[in-house]
């Protein structure tokens, strides 16, 4: 089968920049050296461009996970151009197509089943899947004047931010090329491939915590390099959540920056699904995997009954606790005087439901551990 023709500009950028970085950066490091100023500019560029892609291109514009003040949108538009991953319209059109037809080799622009190389970079350097060029799926974004401005002036913005600014800073500092090589070249290579990891590795390596309806995976290591985007299995199920790392301890600097911007008045209407929906999805996957282990279990019907009953009781406790907490929040807003009179009863009921939820969670975990132990013993035998 004949391969599609190359996109020459993309091919040149994605092959020449790593090659130049491998040659010029070590040479300059040994002959001149990079000082703290150059490394500081590099760090700023890494953060600004990386977050422009994750908080701007991805969560703001592709998924409308929150609303942003025009100054924040302008910031992300400028540094998104510096990331050299195409305009907002192009990027979001491809990404929405990916979510709509994930893993469909004919309609997903970077379908993972076509292989690592294709989903990582092959789809960018070859002329294929051009069905998003009419921007039919991003008409809402075309109404944003900042998006239109970036699309019109993308090339000069890219040249100015990638070359002009680092050279000017280097000239001002007295070391002309240091900032350009680190912030303009090394950062660009890293920024490209960290983003590409989400399309490739995050669909091949990790856990399917919330759904197995597609190839997306949760991977904390990938999240570390991609500003929190590595929790990709969760994202594909709840794509309009402003968070990817939904647990408080999961490394997701993008969600922290968005939340900080909301405190500063630069972001609003941060979207997130109800906790009960997230827990239901996670528990459904745990139940599915547990039931799959019963193929070689003794008394599989009894185990199935135990698992399904424990799952039902856990969900019932979760829904009751969630419903009570929602009613309590509403009561605090509308019936403060009544709430004050019944405060002790409310506290007692809240503690009772929370305790029942904890008991059901522990019972569920013990049951899964018991099943896993039995499976491990069977394998060892």
**Tens digits of per-residue pLDDT, 287-312?**
888 888 887 777 788 888 888 888 88
pLDDT tens-place string over residues 176-226: 899 999 999 999 999 999 999 999 999 999 999 999 999 999 999 999 999
3-state class (DSSP) for residue 348: helix
pLDDT for residue 216? 96
pLDDT for residue 289? 87
pLDDT band at 324 (very low <50, low <70, confident <90, very high): confident
Best CA proximity match to 187, nearest among 55, 44, 87, 78 = 44
- Separation between Cα atoms, residue 294 and residue 231, nearest integer Å: 29
Residues 6+ apart with CB under 8 A from 252: 223, 227, 228, 231, 243, 244, 245
Residues forming a β-bridge with 6 = 126
pTM of the entire predicted model:
0.86
- Separation between Cα atoms, residue 53 and residue 247, nearest integer Å: 22
- Separation between Cα atoms, residue 291 and residue 360, nearest integer Å: 19
- The answer to whether the CB of 285 falls within 8 A of the CB of 258 is no
pLDDT tens-place string over residues 61-97: 999 999 999 999 999 999 999 999 999 999 999 999 9
What is the maximal distance between C-alpha atoms in the chain? 77
pLDDT for residue 336? 57
State the average pLDDT for the chain: 89
Judged against a pLDDT cut of 80, whether residue 340 lies above it is answered with no
């Amino acid at each position: 089968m004949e391969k599609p023709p190359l996109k020459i500009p993309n091919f040149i950028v994605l092959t020449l920049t790593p090659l130049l970085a491998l040659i010029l950066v070590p040479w300059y490091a040994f002959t001149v050296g990079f000082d703290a100023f150059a490394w500081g500019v590099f760090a700023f560029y890494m953060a600004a461009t990386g977050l422009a892609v994750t908080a701007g291109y991805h969560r703001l514009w592709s998924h409308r996970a929150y609303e942003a003040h025009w100054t924040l949108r302008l910031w992300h538009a400028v540094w998104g151009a510096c990331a050299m991953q195409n305009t907002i319209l192009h990027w979001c059109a491809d990404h929405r197509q990916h979510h709509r037809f994930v893993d469909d080799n004919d309609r997903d622009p970077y379908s993972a089943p076509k292989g690592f190389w294709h989903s990582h970079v092959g789809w960018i350097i070859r002329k294929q899947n051009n069905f998003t060029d009419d921007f039919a799926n991003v008409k809402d974004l075309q109404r944003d004047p900042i998006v239109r401005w970036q699309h019109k002036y993308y090339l000069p913005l890219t040249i100015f931010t990638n070359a002009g600014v680092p050279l000017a800073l280097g000239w001002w500092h007295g070391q002309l090329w240091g900032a350009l090589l680190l912030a303009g070249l090394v950062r660009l290579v890293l920024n490209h491939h960290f983003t590409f990891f989400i399309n490739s590795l995050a669909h091949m390596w990790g856990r399917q915590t919330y759904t197995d309806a597609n190839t997306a995976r949760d991977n904390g290591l990938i999240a570390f390099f991609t500003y929190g985007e590595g929790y990709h299995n969760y994202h594909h199920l709840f794509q309009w959540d402003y968070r990817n790392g939904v647990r408080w301890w999961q490394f997701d600097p993008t969600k922290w920056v968005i939340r900080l911007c909301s405190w500063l008045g630069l972001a609003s209407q941060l979207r997130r699904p109800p906790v009960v929906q997230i827990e239901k999805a996670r528990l459904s996957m745990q139940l599915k995997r547990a039931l799959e282990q019963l193929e070689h279990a003794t008394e599989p019907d009894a185990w199935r009954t135990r698992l399904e009953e424990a799952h039902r009781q856990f969900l019932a406790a979760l829904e009751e606790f969630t419903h009570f907490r929602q009613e309590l929040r509403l009561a605090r807003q509308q019936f403060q005087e009544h709430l004050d009179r019944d405060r002790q009863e409310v506290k007692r009921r809240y503690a009772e439901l929370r305790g029942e939820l904890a008991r059901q969670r522990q019972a569920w975990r013990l049951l899964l551990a018991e099943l896993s132990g039995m499976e491990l013993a069977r394998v060892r035998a």
